[in-house]
Structure 1
Amino acid sequence: MSVLIVIPARYASSRYPGKPLAALTGATGESKSLIQRSWEAAKQVKCASRVVVATDDARIREACQAFGAEVVMTSEACTNGTERCAEAYENLGGGYDIIVNLQGDAPLTPHWFVEDLVDGLERDATAEVATPVLRCDGRALNGFLEDRANGRVGGTTAVFDCNRHALYFSKEVVPYTGQSFGDHEMTPVFHHVGVYAYRPAALADYQTWDSGALEALEGLEQLRFLERGRALLCVEVVARGRQFWELNNPEDVPRIEAMMVEMGMP
């Protein structure tokens, strides 16, 4: 089973311009860019046959080449990471069994999240796409609720059926719980981890579809699959003591740096 990991990265983010080049300082005091830390996370994935960064920006390309990453240039017309992964896959000539989209704003993604994701897609022949979900403890859920209360777009939550096929994803906190939880108490809310594994045919189809109403409203690329009735498997992953958070806003930088220090990440 050959696995290609693509890290899509764009400079012109509406919420955080230049985000891939934002500096993050770890436990040792060493500062590295967000894209470098995401690439280093991808390189730890044991099942990866190849890791590339896909971008349309020369500044990102130069920064990535400086720390040794392979870069594939893609079009500025790509509207999201899935489209950029699809174009990068085509530019590389195809030939992989599974393509993983490890988004460049998730440097805390543990390698076993991706490995479990690939395993899940291999086991479920009915699924065309897979993505990890992480059950929130009270601390994580309270972070989500705090972001929404202050008008910030934080993490994404997911709900799924008894077969673990996705029903919906939202930037709101779903499902509604109506209760409070202690920091270490497990909750019924699942944090969607920004990683996807696609079968090549599903990735090719995605490029041919227009964005649907739900995708446009939520700003969540995976909803395009659900709006087309495609089976998207949610693979529950276990943190094993690791904290996880994406860098969505400038305010997330100190939060992620604090997590890195707490976990002893260099």
Structure 2
Amino acid sequence: MTSSPSEPLLKVEKLNAGYGSTRILFDIDLKLMRGEIVVVLGANGAGKSTLMNAISGMCTIQGGRVTFDGQDITGWKAHRIVGSGLAQCPEGRQIFQRLTVEENLQAAFIDRGRKSFAEIRDEVYDLFPVLRERRHSLASRMSGGQQQMLAIGRSLMAQPSVILLDEPSLGLAPKLIHQIFEIVLDLAKKDISVVLVEQNVRLALEVGDYAYVLESGHCRLEGGAAKLMSDPSLAELYLAGHSHLEASNAPAH
């Protein structure tokens, strides 16, 4: 079963989730359409990464459901979810430090009967030319920005239609942050829908289509990203004094 273009590609309904018996998320709803960038914002501890982990099968769903491409994937194991075309690029990069760039990509490849490893690898190298240049380098020898590109590249080796990006700009210099967000826009143009958890609030809202704001595991605000940018409630709750609100010179959406 496949969702129609008019239906959400990814739909989260009344989701309660956490770790073991500890509940972190409470009745979260989220929708992601094809080719869309949905942003998830919130302070540290708001539940953003738990939401990503719940969608990707990495934590316990205690209620509600997750539907992906017309299928109820609630409670599926992580390997089955990524095999269905929903990949996560987790916070902290989590690449194999002792493997080369190409070996990292090989390890992440999932054969879905569409394209070969070489075809997908070359698409990743086209997206990130520096990875082609460093293809025989150990991941541990690469800069933080290059490792982040490799982490995103690894996620793309699963040939996903949805990618969950958790804090992709964390710890990067401003110039590299700009490059990463250009890649996010490129993914959407290639019909890879994106759920983006991001600390850089202004930049995330400038590239996103729709946004959800979490606080203590609850969704407190949602709406069009451009509209939320000027929402006084957002400014009061999340943006006042935020260190990532400087002019961002975001790439054109």
What TM-score does the superposition give when structure 2 sets the normalisation length? Answer: 0.28
